[in-house]
Structure formats: structure tokens, C-alpha cells
Structure 1
Amino acid sequence: MQVKKYLVLVVLFILPIVAYLFFASGVTNFGKLSVLSKGVSDVVHMDGDASFKDNITVVGFLGNHPDNKNGNAFNLNQKIYKRFYQFKDFQFVMVMPKGTEEKAANLKKELGLLVDMKKWNFVFGDEQQIRDFFGSLDTDLQLESDLSTPYAFIIDKELNLRGRTEDGEEATLYGFDATSVSELNNKMVDDVKIILAEYRMALKKNSANRQK
């Protein structure tokens, strides 16, 4: 009986506090996630069924040979997507060249053995479309010759690129290196928490104002 009593207390009191700290810790440490670029192009003009509007989106570029980028995709899937995909306004969008549709389907099937892939989307464009879209991010990074990059980016619901501005000796962080598990764990996880918390706090505030 005593054990059951403690379990009930944990469920009723401890878990809600842990859930709160999950979001609040990031907000306390960093405040709002900085807007680095405004007016990022949407991907609705590319082949596929995805849009950034009204979604918090992690964007990646896997290039003409996504099978060579399986490690990047796996890291993002395990460290970021798997952790946050159940939030209804969160999604992944991978921008890929036309002609890689079959490779993308195979990758999605492989990653789907680990988690539900319903929020992992692919869009396909020609080289100019992909380069134009990447240019709209307005970063200090460049696409590789195969139209890939190891970096993943966070786009908010208003089509702004979010990240970290220059802080001390660290340069502005436009994207997160998917080859680095430590960068995903130590930086990107926190930043996704912050932006999710930001929107949820705004939603609660708006709801409270309407009830007054």
C-alpha cells in the first residue's frame, strides 16, 4: 500500500513538474530563440505535400545521394524527430532533387522501423529551385555540389529562420550539424524545446486574454 501511495504522488505531482521543466529550462537559459532571417521561401511550389505555414519545421538537404547521408538522417531521426514529432504543429521537411524519389522512399521506410514517420516529409525540386530556396535562408553556409548539407535548420510558423545569434566567441548558429550527436543533444534539442514552449506560452496567453 505504501508503494502505491508513493506512485500516485509521483504521477500527480512529480511528472507535471518534470514536464514543465522540460520546456521552462530552455526558456530560462536562452529566452526566445533568435530570428536570424525573415521571409524564408515556402516549399509549396516543389513536388510533395508540405508547407511551412503554421508549422514548426526542421529542414534538411540530403542531396542526390541520400544513401551517403544515412548517418545524418538517422541522427536527426533519433535525437530530434523521435523526441518531438508528437507535437501536432511540428514536422520534418527534407528538400531533395527530383529523381531521388525512390531513394527517399527507401530511407523513409528504413527510418520508419524506429518511429512513426507521419511527420517526416520529402519535397523534390530541380537544382535551381533548391538553390533558390537555400538562398532564402540567408545563412553563411553553402550547399555541397550534390545539393546536400550536413546542417539542419529550424523554420517557425511565420517562415522565419530561428537560431542563435553571436555570443562571445561563438559565431551565429544558423543550422545544426547533423553529423555531430553532441551538437544535436546540447544545442538543437534545447532550441526546439524553446520554440515549442514559446508558441505554447503565446497560445495560453491569447486564450487567457480572450476569457477576460
Structure 2
Amino acid sequence: MNFKKAFVLFVLFVLPLVAYLFFASGIHNFGKLPVLTEQVQELGQGEVRLQDKITVLGFLGAQVDQTKGIVFNLNQKIYKPFHEFSDFQFVMVVPQGQEAAVESLKKEMGQLGDIDKWYFVFLSEEEIGETFQSLGSNISLDAHWGSPYVFLVDKDRNLRGRTDDEDEGVKYGFDARSVAEINNKMEDDVKILLAEYRMALKKNNVAR
């Protein structure tokens, strides 16, 4: 009888504690997304800034009508589930002269729901090239100053990504044309980055 009681107590109290410590240890040791590049360049002199924000950064290029599909993919798969997280923003860099095309795009997006944390920044071609170059990635802009890839930039303007991706090795960005890549890789990495900041916020609150 004593053995049975001890076994029941073990199952009820000890195993959950062990499980908690295991998962807590996993989050602590593996819950940070690697920094691939430090100090990504700021976005010109406008109000939209990378510093102190967690940013999904993209480059739409000068053919907005042809590249807007990546915006809708991101809006559905990443923005809607996570946009309420504090200091999380989506920034699309666009060449100057595309203002009318972007306004049309925003109207389409607005019909699908809140887009308060979507920002479109208009830069010169030179500024776009400099900003993209500062990511230090193995990805190139196309002839229209755009890219289907989007990037995760943390509050310190560091590019976050993967150093051991099963397909690419070092993974700098996510192909937003691919719903599968967004679902299978980008969503996971966004969760990890947001969880990192949640944990830091909790630690700060406890310290106070």
C-alpha cells in the first residue's frame, strides 16, 4: 500500500515538475534565434524606424502589382496571428514613385481587416540598395529593386535567422511567395523571436 501511495504521489507531483524543468531548460537554451548581421541600416529619415521594434522587413520593388502577393501571404499567415504583440511591425520598402500603387494595395488590404502595423517606406534606389546591402545576406535585389524574401530584424536592428537550416545551412530570409515556407519555417522563427522578448519582459518585471 505504501508503495502504491508513493507511486501515485510521484506521478502526480514529481513528474510534472520534471517535465516543467525540462521544457523550461529547452526554452532557455534553444529559444533564441541566432544573430546573423548586426546593425541593419535605418530606413532614411522618416517616422518608421527599425530601432526598438521587431520588424518583418521586405522589399516590394517597382512592380507592386506583381509583388503584392507576398504582402497578402504575410498578412494572412503572420500578421493576423501575431500583430497584437507589442512593438511588432511589418515594413515594406518601396522605390519612390510607387505611392499610387501602394495606396491601391492598402485599400485592398484594408478590406481584409486591420492593417495598423503595416508600413510602406518610400526610398530612393540608392537608399534601398544600401539598406538591403546592410542585411549582409546571400540574397540579391532584382532589377526592379525588389525581392520575394522578407527578413526578421530585432529591436537592436540585428538580422535574425538560422545557422543550421536543413535546406540552406545559413538562412537569412524567407521566400514569402511560398506559403509552405511561411508556415513551416517563418512562423516558427517569429514565435521564437517574440517568445524571447516575452521572457525578457517577464524577467524585467520580476526584477523590479
Q: Which amino acid aligns with 1:117?
A: I
2:131 counterpart of 1:111: no
> Which of 148, 151, 154 is the matching residue for 1:153?
151
> Which of 128, 133, 136 is the matching residue for 2:134?
136
Unaligned runs of 5+ in 2: 1-23
Aligned to 1:182: 180
Structure 1 residues 127, 202: closer, same or farther in 2, change over 3 A? same
Aligned to 2:61: 63
What is the CA deviation profile of residues 91-139 of structure 1, one whole-angstrom value per residue up to 9, with x for unaligned ones? 0000000000111111111011112010000101111100000000000
TM-score (norm 2): 0.84
2:44–2:127 CA contact under 8 A, matched in 1: no
2:24 counterpart of 1:40: no
2:154–2:160 CA contact under 8 A, matched in 1: yes
Higher-Rg member (1/2): 2
For these two proteins, the number of residue pairs brought into alignment is 184
2:33–2:193 CA contact under 8 A, matched in 1: yes
Q: Which amino acid aligns with 1:75?
A: N
Q: 1:18-57 residue pairs with structure 2 within 5 A?
A: 27=27, 30-45=30-45, 48-57=46-55
CA distance in 1, matches of 2:137, 2:158: 12
Structure 1 residues 102, 128: closer, same or farther in 2, change over 3 A? same
Structure 1 residues 113, 199: closer, same or farther in 2, change over 3 A? same
2:165–2:171 CA contact under 8 A, matched in 1: no
Please tell me the root mean square deviation across aligned C-alpha atoms, in Å.
1.8
Unaligned runs of 5+ in 1: 1-23
